[in-house]
Structures are given as structure tokens and as C-alpha cells.
Homo-oligomer: A and B are copies of this chain.
Amino acid sequence: MNQGSSKQQLRAQLRETVQVAILDAAEELIADRGLHAAPLAQIARRAGVAVGTLYNYFADREAMIVALFENRRAQLRPALRTAIAAGRDLAFEPRLRQFVHDVLRVFEIHRRFIKVVIETEHLRLKSSTTGQDLGKGVEEVVEAGVIEGVIDRGRAELFALTVIAALKGIVLRRISDGAPLLPDAVPLIELLLDGARSR
């Protein structure tokens, strides 16, 4: 077997490594201080490179942010799609359970980025579509619930909105507390399906 790597491969790997370091640094800073408090100088320092190096990887600051969102999305989207598709054969309730569970599991892996996504949502960055991906997923599942007759069509929109908002709110809180996300999956579903009244 060819265990060695060609010079080109080595270069490409090195490039990859540096790019990953830059995007990680950017994500970290943005998550910690916000998109507008993450100057390139700091990103470069945290990534361990010079400022000019950033421009060997991205055309400009915006392109770097776009790359960050697209890179993360490339990891998140398939998982979200799988989460949506996974329960397609299930009845509404188990499907919703499954979906929320899967979503939180994915979000857990990308905590830092999820924080960034939620906190920058109001900026309506064109490259930030993860929020929409989540929205689509919830809507699809809810629509299944409507068709199945479990959810009133008239209440579907509000329900979807609430699911999305609750997910974001809880995730944000847990992330800021350094707490895990998954434990909230089951109680949240029960709350949303059966209501808060104890029986």
C-alpha cells in the first residue's frame, strides 16, 4: 500500500488544516463576542496565522463568514434531512419525538455554531440557512400531524412556531449554561403535545 503522500496531497492537507483552524477561530470568536466584535486581527491571532494569511483562504471577511456558514451547514444539513426523513413511516407523535431528539443530538455536536446561527438570525445573512432548514423540518413534521388529524390545521402554524421557538430558546439556555441538550427532548415533546397541566 502507498502510505506516503505526494507533495500535492501534503500541501492540500496543510491547506485544509489551516482553513479549518481559521473557521474554528472565527466561529469561536463570533460565538463568544458576536459577529461584529470579531475583527480579522483577532481571528488570525486565535487561528495562529497572520492577517494576510486569511486572504489566502477567503476573498474577504464576508466570504470567510459565508464559508463558515456553508461549511457548518454542509455538516448539519444532511443530519437534519436524515432527522426529517427518519420518521417518515412513523405516526405523528413518535415522529415528532424522533425528530426533536435527532435535532437536539445534531445541535449538541455543533453547539457553538448553533449559538452563532440563532444569535445572528436577525441579521438575515444570506448564507445562514440552518434556521430555515430547521423551520422546514418542523413544518414538514407538523404538516404530517395535520394530515393525520392529530393537529388542527388552524393551529398548525402557531404550533410550528412554538416548537421552533422552544427549541431555540432551550438550546440557547442550555448552551449558555454549559448543560447538555438531549435531556430536554422528551419533556419538551410531552409538554408540547400534552400541555403543562399535570394529570
Residues of chain A having any CB pair with chain B under 8 Å: 34, 36, 118-119, 122-123, 145, 149-152, 155, 158-159, 161-162, 164-166, 168-170, 172-173, 184, 187-188, 191-198
Question: Closest CB-CB distance, A15 to chain B, in whole Å?
Answer: 15
A166 to B169, CA, bound (A): 8
Assuming A149-B198, A151-B198, A165-B165, what are 4 further A-B pairs, CB within 8 angstroms?
A34-B122, A159-B196, A164-B169, A191-B195
A158 to B198, CA, bound (A): 13
**CB pair B197 A193 closer than 8 Å:** yes
- Among residues of B, the one whose C-beta sits closest to the C-beta of A31 is B122
**CB pair B194 A197 closer than 8 Å:** yes
- Among residues of B, the one whose C-beta sits closest to the C-beta of A174 is B161
A162-B170, A169-B169 known; A191+B155 contact, CB < 8 A: yes
Q: Which of A164, A165, A188 has the most chain B CB within a 10 Å cutoff? A: A165
Sample of 10 A–B contacts (CB below 8 Å)? A145-B196, A150-B198, A151-B196, A155-B191, A165-B166, A165-B168, A165-B170, A192-B195, A193-B196, A194-B197
